[in-house]
Structure 1
C-alpha cells in the first residue's frame, strides 16, 4: 500500500514553518482506495507570497483543525504504507517535525516520484510536477493546492507502476515472444489484452508482487534523484576530497573525509530542514573525488578547492583573499608590539595570522589583549603619549610607560603569539600517502604554510629545502593556519620533523 501525500505550508523551513493543508490518497498498486484531506490552522499568519502561490488565506484556515486534532487520522490512514510524494524529503520532513512537536516519532518508508520518474521516464525536459504532468498529459487542477497536487501525483504514480510492469515483462525469463507481447499489451494505451489463458509476471496483481523499479526507488529514496546506487557503491572508502556536480557539470559542493563512501552516505541520510537544502540534494547529478591518503592533506586541499571553485553550497572557507593581519615589531626599548594592519601595507613582513579585514583584525587583537593582559598602547589600540586606559583601571602593568620590564611583558606577548601561530616556526608533517609505497608531506617554513606533496618510501631528506622541492605550492591563509594548528593538537599518527627557522 502507498500513501500519496502532498502538503502546503507557510514556508520552506520545517524547523519553523507549519502545514496549512494536507491531502492523502491511499493507493493499493492498482487504484486509489481511500483518501483524506483538510486545511489546517498553522497557528500563525500565512505570508502574503504563500497566499499568492497557493490561494490559501488566513480566513480560510481560521476555523480549520490544528495539526494535533488530525494527527491520529494521519497515523492510522498511512499505517503500513510507503510514504510517496514528489520531492518526498520536503513533505516527509514537515510531517516528521509536526509529529516530533507532539512527542511522536513518525516513521515510514519513503518513495520519491521525482526519482522514479527519472528512472522510468528518462529524457523529460523537466521533472517538476507541473511541467512533467503537462508533458505526459496528466490533468493537474488546483496547482499548489494539496488535493490537486496529490491527485496528480497519484495518477503519475499509477502510470509509473504500469511502465515498471511493462519493463519487467520484457525482461521476464522463460516467456515466449507471444507472451512478452501480450504482457506489454495488457497495459498498452490501445486497450489490447493478452490472449485467453496467457499469464505472465506482468499480468498479476501489482499488490501481490514486488515491482522491481518501485522497490529500488524505496530502497534508494534517500539518494538524490540523479545519483544511482551503483555510483554510491563505487565511492572509495579512503581519505580524500569529493565534489558534487550539477547537471551542467559545475561543482556545487566540495567536502572531505577520511572515508568518502561513509561521509557521502551520511549526506544523503540526513533529513533536510529547508527547501534550499532539498534543492541542493536534488541538484546533485554526479560525484567525483580526489584521494589524498592523509586526513590533514584532505583538510588542506578541501580548503584550497573551496576558495578556488567557490561552490554554491559551501558557505565556509570561500574567502580566497585575506587583506589584513596581525604583525609583530620590537621598539627601541625592547618591548614587542603586536599590531593590526593591511597586508599590502607590510609587504616586507608576513602577518603572524591573516584575517578577512581590518575590522576583524582589530577585534581579534582586542581579544588577545584582554586574554593575555597586554598593553593597549603597545598594541596600537589606544593612542596616547602617556599611559593607556587599562593602566588607569589597573589592568595594565605599566609597560606603556616603562614600569613593567620588557622581559616580563614580552613573555605574555609570546604566549599570545603561540595561541595563534605554530609551536615551531619551520617543520614538516609526514603522513600516509595515496598508495602503500607513498608518503604525504606538508611543509611550514618560518610560520608560513608552503603546501603539500607526495614522495615515495625511498625519499630521504635532511634539509628543509629538500622537502620544499618535493611539494606543490599552495596559498597560506588564516583557514589553513587554523587547520594545521588544530590537527597538530589531535591524537594523530603523523610524524613531525622540526627545523631551525630559515633565514
Structure 2
C-alpha cells in the first residue's frame, strides 16, 4: 500500500518552514482507496514568492486547521504504507519536522518518484514533475497546489510501476511487509485479488518471484494454484507469501507480458516457454487466371508468410474461418478440391471466382484486405483495445512491422501524438512468437480498433 503525498510550505530557512497545504492519496497499486486534502494554518507568514507560486496567501489560512488538529488523520492514512512523493526527501523532512514539534517521532519507508523516473525513464531530459508529466501526456490541474501535484504524482507512479520491468518497486514493498511481520494466509491473499484480466506474480517472503501467470480472472486462477493437488501447486502453497498483480484489461497484453516476464524472471515453478515451432503458414499467390489464392503450406523462410501456425490442423481451421469471413472461394484457397464449381456458389457464400463469374479486381481486393490486416511488414500501426478501467484504453505499438510495446492512455492526444506515445510505451521484445500472438488476436478478437499511421 502506498501513501502518495505532496506538501506546500511557507518557504523560509531550512527546518523553519511550515506546512500550508497537504494532500495524501492512499493507493493500492491499482486505484486510490482513501484520500486526505487540507489547507493548514502554519502560524507563521508565507514568503511572498510562495504566494505568487501557489496562490495560497495568509488570509486563506486563518480559519484552516493547525497541524496538531490533522496529525492523527495523517498517521491513520499513512499507517502500513510506503510514502511516495516527487522529491520525497523534502516532503518527508517537512512532515517529520512538524511531528517532532508535537513530540512524536514519525518514521515511514519512502520512495522518490524523481529517483524512480531517473532509473526507469533515463531518456527524459528533465525529471521535474511539470516537464515529466507533460512529456508523458499526463493531464495536470492545479500545478503547485498539493492536490494537483499529488494527483499528478499518482498517475506518474502508476506509469512507473508499469515501466518497472525488473519489479524493483514491488520487491522492496514486500521486504517492507516482512519487516512489519505481516504474513497473510492464502485465503487473505485470494480475497485481495481482482476478478479481472491481467498478469500475476506469486512471491516468496524475500520478494523472489516463484510463479508468473495470466488470466481473464486473476482471483479464480490463483485460487486454483492454492487449492491444486499437483506437486507444483503444493510447493507454491508452502512457499507463497504474497501475490502481486497487474491488471491489463487487454487479454493480448496479458499474453505478451506473461511470455516476456517468464523469460526474464525465470520463476522456478514456471516451465520455460519453448520457442514455438511455427511449421505451417498461409501464403498468397496468383493463379493462371490472375486470382489471388491463399495457400496453407509448410513454412518456407524464402517466402513472405502472412500468418504462421504451430501445426497443419490449426492452419486449416484458421483458413476455413478466413475464407468464410472474407467471402473468399474455398476452391481457390485449397479447401475444396472438387473439379466442378465449389458448392458454396449455390448458397451465395462464394460468388463464383472459381468459374470467373467475378472480376479479379473485385475478388483480389477482398483478399488484399485480409493481407493488409495481417501482414506486418513495414507497417506502422496501433492496436487499440480495452483498458484497465472505464475511460482508459490500451495501445499496442507496431513500427515498421516491429512490435515495440504497449501503453495505457486516457486522452486521445497521447496516441495521436506519436512522440508522447513513444514516451509512455512499456518496451517489449519483438520476435516471431509475439508477431504470431498479435496476428491471432487480431483475427479472433472483437471490439479492437486498428490505427495506421
**Under TM normalisation by the shorter chain, which class is it?**
0.3 to 0.5
TM-score by length of 1: 0.37
Larger gyration radius, structure 1 or structure 2:
1
